[in-house]
Amino acid sequence: MAKIIGAVTTSHVPAIGGAIARKVEHEPYWKPFFDGFVAVREWLAEVRPDVVVVFYNDHGLNFFLDKMPTFAVGAAPEYRNADEGWGIPTVPPFTGDPALSWHVIEQLVGEDFDLTTCQEMKVDHAFTLPMALLWPDQKWPVRCVPVCINTVQFPLPSAARCYRLGEAVGRAIESFPSDARVVVLGTGGLSHQLDGQRAGFINKDFDLQFMESLVHDPKWATQYSIPELVEKTGTQGVELVMWLAARGALGATARKVHANYHIPISNTAAGLMVLEPVV
Ligand code: DHB
Ligand code: FE
């Protein structure tokens, strides 16, 4: 059966794409952020995944406000990036894994999750930039399965439900007849608010407690409703549900391999973790 060998969770600020394009990773503003990824690349070189299952939220590139699925899973042979208007270069296309996608879709629907299945799907900065941070040469050595969770238009799925979605994705991967080595990637957060009176809001105490909870008490954040998470982490801070889904996929116990936290990158608290399942 396919095997989950670890999870990477990271923020996905568009300005990262600008920094990569301008080659300013070593400048003082960016260095503490990009330096965090060196250990992740070393870990990837060791664990050598074949597939990455990516939990992320689309911000209007593939889904707009007129049609907004709560959960959408890609089942395409290829996923392309396109201009979102941030002025950052697009990245090369990603190879899909339709057989694993359909297996995950069948298992999730079998567990009563209602999904939108996407045989065509554009992937935005929330997918492409974390991939570019993991593989800076952008010659993606993995097949991809995108799992998109709505954090853009209310109502949003609860943190508890996103965790359960992750658990179900984990079970689906581990029941897929293949010897594929799978990394789950969760992108979004941590605390940030881009608009309104609290624009620029960051909550370091909450973020650090959240990161710690993923190791020893992974369901800790699921005690909070979406409005409570907005209050604690900002309107876009709710993207941290992607971290919960990725953590859920790892199973009950996990160990921390690596972590980094730096504020701010653009308006966002930039967090990064690598976790491995303990079996
Ligand atoms: C920023 C952060 C995000 O998560 C996003 O999707 C867009 C912008 C920011 O901090 O600039
Ligand atoms: Fe975002």
Could you read off the pLDDT of 106-153 as tens digits, one per residue? 999 999 999 999 999 999 999 999 999 999 999 999 999 999 999 999
State the pLDDT confidence band at 173, using cuts at 50, 70 and 90. Answer: very high
Q: Tell me, yes or no, if 26 is annotated catalytic.
A: no
| Residue 251: per-residue pLDDT | 96
Q: Region 264-268: what's the mean pLDDT?
A: 97
Helix 159-174 and helix 98-110: axis angle, to 10°?
Answer: 120
| Active-site option among 125, 216, 258, 262 | 125
Choosing from 127, 194, 235, 263 the residue with most ligand 1 atoms within 8 A of its CB, the one to mutate for a pocket test is 194
Of all protein residues, the one whose alpha carbon is nearest to atom 5 of ligand 1 is: 13
Ligand closest to the CA atom of residue 271: 1
Mean of pLDDT over the chain: 98
Q: Which residue has its alpha carbon closest to ligand 1 atom 7? A: 13
Q: Say yes or no to pLDDT of 97 above 90.
A: yes
Hey, whose CA ends up nearest to atom 10 of ligand 1? Answer: 267
Task: Report pLDDT for 92.
Answer: 98
Q: Which residues line ligand 1 (CB under 6 A)?
A: 12-15, 59, 192, 194, 236, 239, 266-268
pLDDT band at 155 (very low <50, low <70, confident <90, very high): very high
Q: Which of 42, 49, 131, 53 is nearest to 92 (CA)?
A: 131
Q: Which ligand 1 atom sits nearest the alpha carbon of residue 236?
A: 4
Exposed e or buried b per residue across 117-155, where buried means at least 16 C-beta atoms within 10 angstroms of its C-beta: bbeebbbbbbbbbbbbbbbeeeebebbbbbbbbbbbeee
Say what the alpha-carbon torsion angle 198, 55, 166, 224 is, to the nearest 10 degrees: 0
Ligand 1 centre distance from Cα of residue 186 (Å): 15
Tell me how far apart the alpha carbons of residues 78 and 75 are, in angstroms, rounded to a whole number: 9
Give the span between the Cα atoms of 17 and 11, in whole angstroms.
12
Ligand nearest to the CA of 13: 1
The Å distance, Cα 46 to ligand 2 centre, comes to 29
Range 93-112 average pLDDT:
98
The two three-digit tokens of residue 256, written as one number: 């921390």
- Ligand 1 centroid distance, CA of 12 (Å): 7
* pLDDT at residue 279 greater than cutoff 90: no
| H helix or E strand, kind and range, residue 187 | strand 181-187
Closest ligand to C-alpha of residue 57 is: 2
Active site (annotated) includes residue 258: no
Q: Residue 152, Cα to own-chain centre: how many angstroms?
A: 15
Average pLDDT of span 23-37: 98
The residue whose CA has the least distance to atom 3 of ligand 1 is: 13
Q: Which atom of ligand 1 is nearest to the CA of 12?
A: 4
Return the pLDDT at 38: 98
